[in-house]
Structure 1
């Protein structure tokens, strides 16, 4: 459309005014004038359709209703405040749709504010940004009310129906600061990402909690179950307290896998920096062992070594987590890479931390939840735009990231590998449900 207008010469006068130094944006810019002219033209066209005759029509007197001058109205837009002359009718029955009665902002400005908020800007930052860039001054209450409009969407998203089968669910958390009473406390925002049978990732929900425990995880698992998740093959987490028991109570055939990366980090907590590389080399035969017995032998060898005797806490960390560490050893190497770590959502968490660190702290849990949801949507929107720009280019020239959340295919995921792996690692009942893609139907606890 723009190219056609340029080719026709319709924009020559606009370009000439820009070349002459006339400002484009701001209160007195060309964009403001063009938007004003466009909106007023549309409003007059709406009134013409409502009355049934054109302005200046000689037969206007024969129509029951007529034009009755204009009313002044100022609306806030993406290019600044626009002063409109809104046409009126004598009977007062005209209801414009382009700029509705009582509307003080165009929808595009609301979208801009929500986008700035999703990027991590505070309400005060947004107010200052709008005033300094487009000359529009909005109160903090108005901006807060605009961002609150997404609360219903967040609630619908958090309670939406889920699929019956998720072969793998990853669970990880980021720390957010939330005001609780008269104090600002650190709370964990737990994010669950489920992988469906085709290897597609989906963010299942967000739960904000100050303290973890069996009761909290029981509520999370029950919520997922009530939203339709009837069975899970493997749940990968970082050794969260009480989570294994909650999973086993909800999905009896599910396997809880401790994140190996988190386990290694925990074992290195009291290892001096100079010895870390050597300790990591000795730990590698444990988590790369072909069988559980080989892993036991490797752990015993490390415990008997000089470094093992020097750092018994590293050995104890592995022994304490052994039952939750070894399940992935029963899978072939290709699937081990999928289930041994929660790093599948680390890239998402990295993006979210960049957004939340600018906020200082949140007034309540709902505000933190709202920003995290907006940030997830915003991250994916940016990736989608980048991919759209590169569509059609050779693969070697594409730089846009893959889909981060919805629609991302898990690395090394193949349905055939999943089926064959389940065939020799899982009970027959579990195997058949996944092979036939038929969910189990035990009663919801």
Structure 2
């Protein structure tokens, strides 16, 4: 393994810590590490250290040039070592995050298609030089796309996922010279080993029964066995698709979305007590307790005209929203809503804002897939019930 030693300028680092935010400190540390790694790789390539005169030397140092790199924490500037022959190339820029590669690649595609902003063009020029050719983009695509495709089509039959939550978010994609809205479908499974995994995603047209059915069938074809519970919001097409593809699997309505719908029907003011009671219903220890609290609430407020729409909605959607109470207590807070998927959506949205409009479906699939792989790798190290 390559050993890298650092000569730290403590005064400089102390100044950065005292006068910078955490992001700047992180970037400064990354710059330090990356620069040292590239210098070590140059030593290995030359087969000689600085000022070392030996027969095994294959080339000579020729200073540095600056190159910017886009990372999750922002843009950093690195000092890249050169050799006289120009043949040395550090591996860093080939190895950096799949997410960063896909982000840059999406920007390049925008430049080639003539739809980039000045900001995007500048970033691409800084990263890749003045000329961004289609062949260069193709070469990057060939390296990254197979990774995302392989991950997104992997078999799921080796692990049983008793609980699966699904959700969709919207992005903008350029298609036939127009900007259209596309849905990103994501599924997350909870394993018997107390882990959660992203088990599938798809970029398609707006939410519909047909699109949801296609997505769920793709999961089933990859080996997903019928879960004990499917969790989602109350999209009618999704509900129908779940009952069609996974016959007999109960559906858990996201309690967070359900309560929002209920509260939207309440008067704007003076409803704090009523809201607290509704929340308490879903905090019950078991389904029977929840039903008892519901009955008491309905009887207490049955004559209140201002609450009639809320009472009707609550009664109609109640059983679908308390399915999680039939499962072991240790799982209940994890499967009562799609909150964990909402957080994934926020991560995707944070990256998607950089591009705003994807140049095509493949670009969206690549960036979102690379980000989900990275997030999934992080989650795989955590026990959600610990």
Partners of 1:33 and 1:372 lie apart in 2 by 29
Count of residues in Structure 1 that have an aligned counterpart in Structure 2: 325
User: CA 1:333/1:300 → structure 2, altered by over 3 Å: closer, same or farther?
Assistant: farther
| Cα deviation digits, residues 344-390 of structure 1 (max 9, x gap) | 33332222221112221112222112111222344567xxxxxxxxx
Deviation at 1:277, TM superposition (A): 3.2
- Contact kept, 8 Å, 1:286 with 1:298, in 2: the verdict is no
Verify: 1:145 aligned to 2:145, yes or no. no
User: CA 1:209/1:312 → structure 2, altered by over 3 Å: closer, same or farther?
Assistant: farther
Deviation at 1:151, TM superposition (A): 1.3
Deviation at 1:112, TM superposition (A): 4.2
- Contact kept, 8 Å, 2:38 with 2:80, in 1: the verdict is no
Verify: 1:179 aligned to 2:182, yes or no. no
Partners of 2:271 and 2:179 lie apart in 1 by 35
Correspondence for 2:236: 241
3-state SS of 2:193 partner: coil
User: CA 1:380/1:118 → structure 2, altered by over 3 Å: closer, same or farther?
Assistant: farther
3-state SS of 1:268 partner: helix
3-state SS of 1:274 partner: coil
Verify: 1:406 aligned to 2:368, yes or no. no
Q: TM-score, normalised by structure 1?
A: 0.61
- Contact kept, 8 Å, 1:189 with 1:208, in 2: the verdict is yes
3-state SS of 1:347 partner: helix
Matching of residues 117-136 of structure 1 within 5 Å:
117=101, 122-123=107-108, 128-129=122-123, 136=129
Correspondence for 1:297: 295
Correspondence for 2:248: 253
User: CA 1:141/1:247 → structure 2, altered by over 3 Å: closer, same or farther?
Assistant: same
3-state SS of 1:228 partner: coil
User: CA 1:366/1:313 → structure 2, altered by over 3 Å: closer, same or farther?
Assistant: farther
User: CA 1:377/1:317 → structure 2, altered by over 3 Å: closer, same or farther?
Assistant: same
Matching of residues 271-350 of structure 1 within 5 Å:
271-275=266-270, 277-289=272-284, 290-291=287-288, 293-298=291-296, 300-301=298-299, 303-304=301-302, 306=304, 309-331=305-327, 333-350=329-346
Partners of 1:276 and 1:178 lie apart in 2 by 42
Whichever of the two has the greater Rg, that structure is 1
Q: Structure 2, unaligned stretches of length 5 or more? A: 8-30, 49-54, 68-77, 112-118
Partners of 1:2 and 1:285 lie apart in 2 by 57
| Cα deviation digits, residues 52-92 of structure 1 (max 9, x gap) | xx789xxxxxxxxxx9x99xxxx997645845427xxxxxx
3-state SS of 2:322 partner: helix
Partners of 1:107 and 1:214 lie apart in 2 by 46
Superposition RMSD in Å? 4.1
- Contact kept, 8 Å, 1:177 with 1:361, in 2: the verdict is yes
User: CA 1:333/1:184 → structure 2, altered by over 3 Å: closer, same or farther?
Assistant: same
3-state SS of 1:171 partner: strand
- Contact kept, 8 Å, 1:167 with 1:196, in 2: the verdict is yes
